[in-house]
Homo-oligomer: A and B are copies of this chain.
Amino acid sequence: MSNRISFREYHQNIIERVTNRLEESLPAAWRIPSSLREAMLYSLMAGGKRMRPLLVIAACEALKGNTDAALDAACAVEMVHTYSLIHDDLPAMDNDDYRRGKLTNHKVFGEATAILAGDGLLTHAFYLVGRMAPLHGVPAERVVQMTMDLSEMAGPKGMVGGQAADMEGEQGLTELSQLEYIHLHKTSDLITFSLLAGGRIAGAEEAQLEALRAFGQKLGLAFQIQDDILDIVGDEAKLGKKTKSDMKQEKVTYPYFIGLDASRSEVKRLTAEAKEAVLGAGFPDPSRLLEAADYLMNRDH
């Protein structure tokens, strides 16, 4: 495959396509109060690795599906991710002033607008999922399934539940299983949704969806443990945020429970298992999924 672009170029390409699509995702003809539109776009355009969008598209390509439709699902998941960051950063939650080296939403637009910007992004994500049927010809049954997946995995049983458990846990976690619950829902669920969405758009069969689910859960957990590790040993300039923040906030993390070396081994083990799940499912072209897994394991920011 001599014409095949590198994973770095592939990733860069997706960042551009997703960012462009996000920029035009709120129809220009819609009359939206300017402060709200601006606040939503501020956080959407604040950069980031667009890893969840990449996973949507990579899963869709693994099954040779319609990547133009997948781009809408990719933007939807990025909107949900972005809304969750805006709300998490609020004074009542983590009270963060900076995110990716830029002022957080509420520091720029005020708390009320930040809350509404988050609400708006979450709500609009479902519009992008829905429109895949009329706009891109994705069968309505699959779109309905994706709507249910997204609300299950981003809602009270999923990401919102993970965040609530994280906050309950600030009074002190005592078991690794509690931390795993938080990671699984706060992080893995939306990653898993991304993979399932890509698969569903491409018409994945049940066994393939199960493989994508296993891949997502293991990858999400590895991703979060890697985050915990980078918070201890990472380079602040590369991360765009202060390290050692978990320790300062007395947050328990994977390294806290099992040590740094064992945490690193755990990231390797989970990544290997994730890749095995995908390799065993008979996808026509799983290569980008496998590369994404390696990229996430080896990242330094």
Contacts and interface: CB of A to CB of B under 8 A. Distances in A.
Nearest to A87: B115
A258 to B, nearest CB: 24
A120 B156 contact: yes
Interface in A58-92: 83, 87, 90, 92
Nearest to A30: B157
Given A35-B168, A140-B140, A155-B127, A116 B160 contact: yes
B164 A151 contact: no
Interface string A120-161: 101111110111011000011101110110111011110011
Interface in A34-72: 35-37, 40
Interface in A149-182: 150-152, 154-157, 160-161, 163-165, 167-168, 181
A33 interface: yes
A87 B111 CA distance: 11
Contacts of A139: 140
Contacts of A156: 26, 30, 32, 36-37, 40, 120, 123-124
A31 interface: yes
Interface residues of A, number: 58
Contacts of A143: 140, 144, 147
B151 A35 contact: no
A93 interface: yes
Contacts of A130: 144-145, 147-148, 151
Given A112-B93, A119-B160, A156-B120, A151 B126 contact: yes
Contacts of A31: 157, 161, 181
Nearest to A111: B92
Contacts of A90: 115
B93 A155 contact: no
Contacts of A144: 130, 133-134, 140, 143-144, 147
A287 interface: no
A69 to B, nearest CB: 13
A293 to B, nearest CB: 27
A174 to B, nearest CB: 16
A184 to B, nearest CB: 10
A19 interface: no
A126 B113 contact: no
Given A130-B144, A144-B130, A167-B113, A119 B161 contact: no
Closest 4 CB pairs of A and B: A123-B155, A92-B111, A140-B140, A127-B151
Given A30-B156, A126-B126, 17 more contacts: A31-B181, A32-B156, A37-B156, A87-B115, A92-B115, A112-B167, A116-B160, A118-B119, A119-B119, A120-B161, A123-B151, A123-B155, A126-B150, A127-B151, A134-B148, A139-B140, A144-B144
